[in-house]
Structure 1
Amino acid sequence: MGNGPSYKVKFRRRREGKTNYYRRYTYVINRATRVVVRLTNKYVIVQFVKFDPKGDVTVAVAHSRELRKFGWKGDENNSAACYLTGLLAGLRASKSGIKESSADIGLYTPTKGARIFYALKGAIDAGVKIPMGDVGVIKDRIEGVHIAEYAKRLEAEDPEKYKRVFSRYLANGLDPKDIPSHFKEVLNAIKSGEK
Structure 2
Amino acid sequence: MGFVKVVKNKAYFKRYQVKFRRRREGKTDYFARKRLVIQDKNKYNTPKYRMIVRFSNRDIVCQIAYAKIEGDAIVCAAYSHELPRYGVSVGLTNYAAAYCTGLLLARRLLNKFNLDKVYEGQVEVTGEEFNVESVDGQPGAFTCYLDAGLTRTTTGNKVFGALKGAVDGGLSSHTALSGSRATTPRAKSSAVRSTGSTSGLERVEYMSSLIEEDEDAYKKQFSRFI
- In the other structure, the counterpart of 2:116 is none
Structure 1's unaligned 5+ residue stretches are: 171-195
Return the offset for 1:73. 2.1
Tell me the distance in 1 between the aligned counterparts of 2:200 and 2:177: 22
Return the offset for 1:160. 1.7
Tell me the distance in 1 between the aligned counterparts of 2:97 and 2:224: 15
Larger-gyration structure (1/2): 2
1:51-66 matched pairs, under 5 angstroms: 51-66=67-82
Runs (4 or more) in structure 1 with deviation over 3 Å come to: none
Tell me the distance in 1 between the aligned counterparts of 2:78 and 2:69: 24
Return the offset for 1:81. 0.7
Contact 1:73/1:169 (CA < 8 Å) preserved in 2? no
Q: CA RMSD in A?
A: 1.7
Return the offset for 1:40. 1.0
The one-letter code matched in structure 1 to 2:171 is V
Tell me the distance in 2 between the aligned counterparts of 1:143 and 1:123: 15
Alignment size in residue pairs = 169
Q: Note if 1:160 corresponds to 2:170.
A: no
- In the other structure, the counterpart of 1:41 is 57
Q: Residue 113 of structure 1 aligns to a residue in which SS? A: coil
Tell me the distance in 2 between the aligned counterparts of 1:27 and 1:73: 34
> What per-residue deviation string (whole Å, max 9, x for no partner) do you get for residues 49-105 of structure 1?
022222211111111100011121221101111111110111112223370100000
- In the other structure, the counterpart of 1:50 is 66
Q: Residue 50 of structure 1 aligns to a residue in which SS? A: strand
Indicate which of 97, 102, 105 corresponds to 2:148. Answer: 105
- In the other structure, the counterpart of 1:81 is 97
**TM-score (norm. length: structure 1):** 0.80
Structure 2's unaligned 5+ residue stretches are: 1-7, 40-46, 114-140, 182-193
**TM-score (norm. length: structure 2):** 0.70
- In the other structure, the counterpart of 1:124 is 167
Return the offset for 1:28. 2.3
Q: Note if 1:3 corresponds to 2:13.
A: yes
1:6-17 matched pairs, under 5 angstroms: 6-17=15-26
More helix by share: 1
Tell me the distance in 2 between the aligned counterparts of 1:69 and 1:100: 28
The one-letter code matched in structure 2 to 1:135 is G
> What per-residue deviation string (whole Å, max 9, x for no partner) do you get for residues 115-146 of structure 1?
11101111111100012232232221111111
Contact 2:37/2:66 (CA < 8 Å) preserved in 1? no
- In the other structure, the counterpart of 2:131 is none
Tell me the distance in 2 between the aligned counterparts of 1:17 and 1:60: 24
Tell me the distance in 1 between the aligned counterparts of 2:91 and 2:177: 27
